[in-house]
Amino acid sequence: MSTLHLIETGAGGNEADRNGNGDAIDCVTIRSLAQHMGETIAGQFIVDQQAAIAEGTPHLRLRLADATGNILAFVWPEYRSAITLPPLGAAASVQADVCDYQCAPQLKVRRLVPLPPGEVAMFANLLPGVSHAAFDALLGLERSLPAVLREFVARVLLDPAVGPAFITCRASATHHHHERGGLLRHSLENLDLIAEMIRRRFPDEPLSAAIGQVGYLFHDVGKIRTVGTTARPPLSWTVRHETHNLTVLGPHMEWLQRADMEAYTGLLYIFEYLATPASARRWASYFPAEVVAQFDGWSAAEFAGRGLQTFTHQARSCAPASGVRRAG
């Protein structure tokens, strides 16, 4: 069999995506595999389930996933030596034959190895369970980011200890975006406006616009430890989620510090600024931090009842009774 490299955008369409250099990139999606029975594909997937078929044999059954779905994959003894399994929930580079099993595709894996974040073709395509709207927003962000911040975001979202929890977490227990997945929806709102605001003030600093977007994307990531998906974790009230941000992102911030000191410093300042209680904050020394803080508050405005209908209703309910003169 010859190896097929299918070029797709993933969950959102089937046109060729492109990297920062304008070159087409290979992104085989699970959704497309039914069209390629009998061919060998090379792709990138999340390993989200693994089990030995029979005790004492090297025959494995895996479940691979991406933003378009999941599929069963099998490793036969003759290919076991070419398999290096990543941690569950992590990304892998896969070469496999697409087989027909009861009119549905299955994969016979020839090679599988952990996928380094720097070799991820499309991180948006490796996020099972995201909505179409979230996928589109993440894909737009991915296309716009400089390489170092694109890899930073990929490292965070593809970290099995962070990404799945971030994608399913609520933004609050009972207030704004309190549904499952609400944190991701909140964190993707207004990314284009944030970049535009920063570009208007600092048109010669494209990196600052990107830092502001990444800062907003992860400004509440600490809520995976204080709010959770369905219930608050134990002792969640003891430390503010803004403090947790840097503990959640710690290993990835260390990588960014080594990769790009300026990007690291700007992003670190944003998280430090947000960790300062609002009542104690001064004017931000780095403008994107202030933009992130403002848009965070504005995103919750709808849920706080700050629109015209609520405003005028409150004004009417507070109006003096007929015949009563108002003071002044």
- Give per-residue pLDDT as tens, 133-169: 999 999 999 999 999 999 999 999 999 999 999 998 8
pLDDT of residue 173: 45
Residue 4: name the closest of 81, 105, 118 by CA.
105
Tell me: do 295 and 154 sit in the same domain: yes
Residue 47's CB: how many other CB atoms inside 10 A?
23
Structural domain total, the chain: 2
Residue 22 resides in a domain: yes
236 shares a domain with 150: yes
Residue 322 lies in a domain: no
pLDDT higher at 234 or 146: 146
Whether residue 18 sits in one domain with residue 69: yes
The C-alpha atoms of residue 250 and residue 256 are separated, in whole angstroms, by 10
The domain of 13 spans 3-119
Indicate if the pLDDT at residue 230 is higher than 70.
no
User: Tell me, what's the pLDDT at 23?
Assistant: 37
Same domain, yes or no: 58 and 152: no
Q: What is the pLDDT of residue 269?
A: 97
Residue 58 pLDDT: 62
Q: Which helix (H) or strand (E) holds 188?
A: helix 182-188
Is residue 304, in this structure, part of any structural domain at all? Answer: no
Beta strands (DSSP E) in 58-204 are 60-66, 69-75, 91-101, 104-114
Q: What band does 299 get if pLDDT is binned at 50, 70 and 90?
A: confident
Same domain, 193 and 95: no
Q: For residues 126 and 132, give the distance between their C-alpha atoms in angstroms, rounded to a whole number.
A: 13
pTM recorded for the entire structure: 0.83
The whole-angstrom distance between residue 286's C-alpha and the CA centroid of its chain comes to: 25
Q: How confident is the model at residue 201 (pLDDT cuts 50, 70, 90)?
A: very high
Whether 190 and 52 map to the same domain: the answer is: no
Is there a single domain that holds both residue 166 and residue 115?
no
Same domain, 9 and 149: no
Same domain, 74 and 173: no
Inter-residue contact 90 to 160 (CB < 8 Å): yes
Q: Which CATH number characterizes residue 8's domain?
A: 2.40.50.140
38 and 169 in a common domain: no
Q: What is the largest CA-CA distance in the chain?
A: 93
pLDDT above 90 (res 241): no
pLDDT confidence of residue 11: 53
d(CA 328, CA 234): 53
